[in-house]
Structure 1
Amino acid sequence: MLWERQAITPKHRRGEPRLEEIHTLRQRRAMLWLADDDATSWATVDYDGHQTDTFRVSQHGPRRLWDEVEVAHRSWEAAGRPSVARYGLTVMPDGTATASLNLP
């Protein structure tokens, strides 16, 4: 399960999805909310505390945020599950940013 082991709080950039909130209940139930800065797209994932391969997902808006999470997770796994230390971020003077793997 992607979110069971740890809550990931990424650095936030305008226009990118962010981790809004995680509620963990006594029975290890959890609900994850994702939203973009423009408040036009959101996704929720409900972990029932029992299933480890099936989750209830709801999403709305022009960006399919949970689809983006799944693509990022598959890319991370295909790259051999690299640690955070192997990632780099280049920010240009105009504010655009590019993430990289194994580059400074």
Structure 2
Amino acid sequence: MMFNRGNQKNLGVYPTDFFQMQFFEDTSKYGVEMPEELEAVLSTDMDAETIFESFTDGKKRSIIYMISGYKNSQTRIDKSLLLCENLKRGVKDNKALLEVF
């Protein structure tokens, strides 16, 4: 468990302070929150969804993090559409998944 200085500062906790933490089991399907935009796009493209589901859990999370990194909803939609097209083209490399060919 990492508790860096930024987190300490945000919570007002100092190295000499005592505090309690609680851990909860992650019950989400992928271990991270799936962006609504990616979920919607995958649900409408069964071929891309099948390819996505064939990946390892770690690769799925990496893809989810890539899409989640965009703050604008329309950008997440556009990148999700691009991702699906690239998956169907056979692109597997994370760096190339969001590139236009």
- Do they fold alike, i.e. is TM over 0.5? no
Structure having the larger proportion of residues in strand: 1
TM-score, normalised on structure 2?
A: 0.30
- TM-score for both structures, normalised by structure 1: 0.29
Bigger relative contact order, structure 1 or 2 (CA pairs below 8 A, ≥6 apart): 2
Whose helix fraction is larger, Structure 1's or Structure 2's?
2
